[in-house]
Structure 1
Amino acid sequence: MIYRVSSAHEEKDNRLFSVSTEEFLGDSDGNLRALKIVETVFANGKFEPVPGTEKEIPADFVFLAMGFTGPEKSPLLTQLEVEVDDRGTIKRDSNFAANDEGIFVTGDAGRGQSLIVWAIAEGRSTAAAVDRYLTGDSQLPSPIEPTTRQLMV
């Protein structure tokens, strides 16, 4: 099934729903050339492939959006002495800054698991915050605040 978004479709950006990637397909040089996908239905509490619906879609670049449970509890976090909240994300202030001077937190590390569009927006806003920190001012766009949340329906 394809839901239409006119401006995206004008740019050849088809949106496929209820499909699962089965395989990355490469060319003879080992470069990505396509994805093998299959339609799915939700049955018995999980998504099941629909036999006979497999197809290839051309691709030369793929973004992977993976599940996330918080930043890795590594020696780096310990060394930086950043504070972590009850959800396991790194605490930050209204300028995306952690409690340790000169450390900024953006994306899933500060927000928690979310969509890539939030990480992109936060990356832009954090770049503006870092610019202000380093130069005292910024002309960079800052589309969201660290406390901005998605609309709830």
Structure 2
Amino acid sequence: MTSEQSPTVPPGRYGDSPTTPATARRGPGRGAKVAIGVALAAAVGATAWFSFARTAADPVTAEMVGFEVVDAEHLDVTFQVHMPPGTTAVCTVDALSTSYAQVGTLEVPVGPVQDRTSAYTVTVGTSEEATAADVTACAPTGG
């Protein structure tokens, strides 16, 4: 081998050579792009349907914001209710002891309201000092 000759490299050893046809390096074809688009559209549709079905099945939800022990026989509870505007519901608020036994309960009528989320603060009477609170249920009343 003289200094004017270049060494021969085995084909494919270092990737495609500059002489590889351009058609061999193209991305996915039109059919693959259409299939990907259809799959993405189906995924978006399924997500939207699931979200709608969940809202229809459980139109009223609540979450605790906080509570304050007023005295041994009273507990102030603040919670938020999420429901479609115009809906009415009844929420059950429980006061709990250190052993999580129910020491007070109150059914609270909520709504109708104009906004999807509304906040409420109620006082729950207790049979002994409460150390926790929970909104155990909220259900639409149909009115």
Q: Could you tell me the TM-score, scaled by structure 2's length?
A: 0.19
Relative contact order (alpha carbons < 8 A, sep ≥ 6): 1 or 2 greater?
2
Structure whose alpha-carbon radius of gyration is higher: 2
